């Protein structure tokens, strides 16, 4: 007999380094100084779930499935070990089949005979599946806490829990949450490639009822974690016969049920089970596993509670924002409109909910006189409920100001004054007013689809992007005024905001946006892209969409700039019609005989446009009333912007000049213009004259012969109004061509 330690040649051959590593129940991976794979044993392929071929020898160790969020940790590990240190910790690894496992790894330097470090040797095993479970427990709990802390949404949180526990710690995972007095299944996760047959275990969304005496019912009543170490030694009532039959078919061996408790409330249950579907070293849970699952359940419950609170805040924020922004956009002739609004992504690291979901970005589309439309986009500095409240006040004020049909520059000037009025009143120690108005950028545009004329004024906002003829450029703006609320004292707003006019070509589109579209959070390198870079990326994407519908342009603009938005974002796209809209216009002398001529012109135009007869007659009636009112008062009005020079003594004032009779011939060069427009569902009538006085409805007595014209217009037209013009005023009304 040979002495102890004497080996046969055959045995010695099997004790080579390669043979030993091939049989080791631990992953061994060797890399060079650049983290390229040099060696891996068979167990490494089994653990990481990736088959690495010899041709892939120069691939990085990161290709073994280490999750992207752990790449920085792996890089720091490599640097530390290459300096001669030793590192031990846990990685999240996603296998080729999509399952996630936690890998406990130890890394040591690989040294040359000379003593220099030439690479890294990594020894790895699946966490909690060795004799060092106590050491792994704290590290893995920390990892689970980190993963759950990054989730602010209930569904995402539950998904992360299931991915963490199946298949590494369980073959089956159910999570049920309470909804009122009901227990509803929210997660049903199982080992890869298996799912419960229909009609056996309840699916996601179903109400769960555990019978009295069931271990899950006991966990709920006692509010403690219950362990069923071996089902062959225990007997419990089953929820249904089919579920009991399935448990027998798959060989359920052990289970742990933990209540999800937080702040004294029970949120639900977490159920983990083992079965014969997998080949595990130990098919049963023990007391150590029960305590560990109880600790996990505590963290899961806290994460779910945070997610529920955040979703409640998010719902509040979305409702708040929804009611501050327009609920529906009007249908406008000659114009396609598309809008998008996205709140900023939450700042999970700061636990902020509504403060990051609500912002001060807004848009609006305001129908104006005779088919014209006011378009606005703005951004209140900052975020949170205060910015949103300021935005709501400004939007309401602008809608009210816009109804006066003043120029865009006048509207911004009035809005600037309003911004100062709503500033939170504050005083210093001496009692002096130190209120600081909010800073707001805003752009207001007025578009006339019949003339294609675009008038606008800008208060420090980014210029719109113009898409025309396959090009995307910024709209040329000569005068960009100061943001609202920052105008220097003593400087009148009329000097700050200037009106400009452009003509939109047929089919041209405008993209109005707030800075959230181009301001993105820093990338992985920590450097956010510059505004020029993001604007270039945006224009490149939009150039291909210059002829597309407004909705399609809005969709492309939303996703054109990569990265997560750092601020809330509003987008408004308007696209002009490819065809010209119907319009008739003629100027008449302001004489009584011209009332009939104006009515005849309207009748012929309505007949040519196939306006229904009863609607055409109604419109012609109101044309007569408005034109008669213009002619009646023409002689009493002065032509603006003309200087009257009279030589000699002042002329005496005659009372009879005040209100001339309708039959009197009007002397002079007074005239009026009748403009008719046809839309998809309405016709608009506008009458222009040189009188600066705006009309108002009079209260006519029973015996009065006049004074009822505007009353008829008010009663019979869908809408009517008047607006000042450079030469005088315009009176307009709208008649629907379909059912009212």
Residues 158, 122 share a domain: no
- For residue 538, being part of any structural domain is answered with yes
pLDDT tens readout for residues 586-636: 999 989 899 999 999 999 999 999 999 999 999 999 999 999 888 887 655
pLDDT tens readout for residues 167-221: 878 899 999 999 988 999 999 999 888 999 988 999 999 999 999 989 999 999 9
pLDDT tens readout for residues 51-66: 766 555 567 777 778 8
pLDDT surpasses 80 at 654 = no
Residues 74, 118 share a domain: yes
Task: Count CB atoms within 10 A of the CB of residue 116.
Answer: 10
pLDDT value of position 327: 76
- For residue 653, being part of any structural domain is answered with no
List, in order, residues 6 or more apart from 570 with CB less than 8 Å away.
Answer: 339, 340, 341, 361, 362, 363, 377, 379, 513, 514, 516
- CB of 95 closer than 8 Å to CB of 73: no
pLDDT value of position 6: 55
Residues 189, 44 share a domain: no
- For residue 462, being part of any structural domain is answered with yes
Residues 287, 187 share a domain: yes
Residues 158, 61 share a domain: no
Antiparallel, parallel or unpaired: β 509-513 and 335-342? unpaired
- For residue 253, being part of any structural domain is answered with yes
> Which is it for the CA torsion 664, 665, 667, 672, positive or negative?
positive
pTM of the prediction?
A: 0.62
Burial (CB < 10 A; 0-12, 13-18, 19+), residue 719, is middle
Residues 252, 123 share a domain: no
| Cα separations in angstroms, 170 against 48, 278, 731 | 18, 10, 77
- At 639, the pLDDT band (50, 70, 90 cuts) reads very low
Residues 541, 594 share a domain: no
- DSSP one-letter string for 522-563: --TTS-PPPHHHHHHHHHHHHHTTTTS-HHHHHHHHHHHS-S
Residues paired with 297 in a beta bridge: none
pLDDT tens readout for residues 405-450: 889 999 999 999 888 888 766 666 666 666 678 889 999 999 999 9
- For residue 643, being part of any structural domain is answered with no
- For residue 222, being part of any structural domain is answered with yes
pLDDT value of position 732: 92
- Residue at which a domain ends, from 257, 284, 312: 312
pLDDT value of position 451: 93
| Side-chain-side CA neighbours of residue 171 (13 Å) | 23
- At 15, the pLDDT band (50, 70, 90 cuts) reads low
Residue 721 has which token pair?
Answer: 């109004």
pLDDT value of position 697: 73
List the domain range (segments joined by +) for residue 678.
Answer: 583-635+669-736
Tell me the CATH number at 73: 3.30.450.20
Residues 517, 502 share a domain: yes
Tell me the CATH number at 415: 3.60.40.10
The count of structural domains within the chain is: 4
Q: Is the peptide bond before 167 cis (omega within 30 degrees of 0)?
A: yes
Residues 276, 335 share a domain: no
Q: What are phi and psi of 311, to 5 degrees?
A: -65, -35
- At 136, the pLDDT band (50, 70, 90 cuts) reads low
Residues 534, 450 share a domain: yes
Residues 137, 87 share a domain: no
Residue 338 has which token pair?
Answer: 């598309």
Residues 265, 178 share a domain: yes
pLDDT value of position 572: 95
Average pLDDT over residues 279-307: 86
- Residue at which a domain ends, from 127, 154, 171: 127
| Cα separations in angstroms, 402 against 367, 373, 729 | 9, 10, 16
pLDDT surpasses 50 at 460 = yes
pLDDT surpasses 50 at 642 = no
Average pLDDT, the chain: 81
- Residue at which a domain ends, from 111, 127, 143: 127
- For residue 697, being part of any structural domain is answered with yes
Tell me the CATH number at 618: 3.30.565.10
Tell me the CATH number at 186: 3.30.450.40
pLDDT value of position 499: 92
- For residue 645, being part of any structural domain is answered with no
- At 350, the pLDDT band (50, 70, 90 cuts) reads very low
Average pLDDT over residues 560-585: 87
pLDDT value of position 667: 44
- In terms of pLDDT, which residue wins out, 152 or 404? 404
């Amino acid at each position: 007999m040979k002495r102890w330690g004497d080996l046969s040649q055959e045995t010695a051959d099997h004790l080579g380094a390669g043979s030993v590593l091939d049989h080791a129940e631990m992953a061994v991976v060797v890399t060079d100084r650049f983290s390229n794979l040099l060696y891996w044993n068979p167990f490494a392929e089994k653990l990481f779930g990736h088959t690495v071929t010899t041709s892939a020898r120069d691939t990085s160790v990161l290709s073994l499935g280490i999750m992207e969020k752990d790449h920085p940790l792996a890089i720091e590990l490599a640097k530390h070990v290459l300096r001669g240190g030793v590192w031990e910790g846990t990685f999240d690894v996603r296998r080729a089949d999509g399952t996630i496992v936690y890998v406990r790894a130890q890394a040591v330097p690989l040294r040359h005979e000379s003593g220099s470090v030439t690479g890294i040797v990594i020894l790895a095993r699946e966490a909690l599946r060795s004799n060092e479970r106590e050491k792994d427990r704290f590290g893995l709990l920390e990892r689970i806490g980190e993963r759950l802390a990054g989730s602010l949404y209930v569904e995402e949180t539950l998904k992360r829990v299931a991915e963490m526990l199946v298949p590494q710690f369980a073959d089956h995972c159910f999570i049920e949450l309470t909804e009122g007095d009901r227990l509803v299944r929210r997660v049903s996760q199982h080992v890869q490639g298996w799912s419960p047959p229909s009609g056996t275990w309840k699916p996601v969304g179903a109400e769960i009822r555990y019978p009295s005496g069931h271990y899950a019912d006991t966990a709920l009543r006692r509010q403690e974690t219950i362990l069923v170490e071996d089902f062959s030694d225990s007997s419990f009532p089953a929820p249904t016969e089919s579920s009991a039959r399935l448990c027998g078919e798959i060989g359920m061996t052990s289970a742990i049920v933990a209540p999800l408790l937080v702040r004294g409330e029970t949120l639900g249950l977490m159920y983990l089970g083992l079965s014969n579907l997998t080949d595990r070293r130990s098919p049963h849970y023990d007391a150590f596993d029960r305590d560990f699952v109880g600790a996990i359940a505590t963290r899961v419950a806290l994460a779910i509670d945070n997610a529920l609170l955040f979703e409640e805040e998010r719902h509040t924020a979305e409702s708040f924002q929804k009611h501050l922004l327009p609920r529906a956009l009007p249908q406008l002739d000659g114009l396609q409109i598309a809008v998008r609004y996205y709140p900023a992504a939450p700042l999970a690291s700061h636990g902020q909910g509504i403060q990051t979901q609500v912002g001060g970005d807004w848009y609006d589309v305001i129908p104006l006189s005779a088919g014209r439309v006011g378009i606005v986009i703005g951004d209140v500095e900052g975020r949170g409920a205060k910015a949103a409240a300021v935005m709501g006040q400004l939007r309401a004020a602008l809608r009210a100001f816009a109804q006066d049909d003043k120029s865009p520059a006048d509207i911004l000037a009035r809005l600037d004054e309003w911004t100062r009025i709503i500033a939170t009143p504050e005083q210093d120690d001496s009692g002096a007013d130190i209120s600081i108005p909010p800073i707001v950028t805003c752009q207001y545009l007025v578009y006339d689809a019949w003339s294609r004329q675009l008038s606008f004024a800008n208060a420090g906002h980014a210029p719109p992007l113009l898409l025309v003829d396959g090009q995307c450029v910024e709209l040329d703006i000569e005068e960009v005024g100061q943001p609202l609320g920052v105008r220097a004292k003593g400087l009148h707003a009329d000097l700050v905001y200037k009106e400009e006019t452009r003509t939109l070509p047929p089919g041209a589109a405008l993209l109005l946006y707030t800075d959230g579209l181009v301001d993105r959070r820093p990338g992985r390198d920590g450097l956010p892209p510059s505004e020029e870079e993001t604007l270039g990326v945006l224009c490149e994407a939009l150039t291909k969409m210059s002829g597309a519908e407004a909705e399609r342009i809005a969709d492309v603009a939303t996703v054109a700039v990569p990265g997560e938005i750092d601020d809330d974002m509003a987008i408004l796209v308007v696209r002009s019609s490819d065809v010209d809209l119907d319009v008739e216009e003629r100027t008449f002398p302001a004489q009584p005989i011209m009332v009939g001529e104006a009515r005849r012109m309207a009748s012929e135009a309505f007949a040519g446009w196939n306006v229904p007869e009863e609607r055409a007659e109604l419109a012609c009636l109101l044309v007569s009333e408005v034109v008669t009112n213009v002619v009646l008062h023409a002689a009493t009005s002065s032509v603006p912007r003309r200087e009257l020079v009279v030589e000699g003594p002042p002329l005496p004032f005659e009372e009879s000049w005040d209100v001339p009779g309708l039959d009197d011939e009007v002397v002079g060069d007074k005239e009026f213009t009748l403009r008719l427009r046809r839309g998809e569902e309405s016709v608009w009538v506008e009458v222009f004259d040189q009188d600066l006085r705006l009309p108002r409805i009079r209260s006519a007595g029973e015996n009065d012969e006049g004074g009822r014209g505007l009353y008829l217009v008010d009663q019979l037209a869908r809408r009517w109004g008047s607006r000042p013009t450079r030469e005088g005023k315009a009176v307009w009304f709208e008649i629907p061509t379909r059912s009212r």
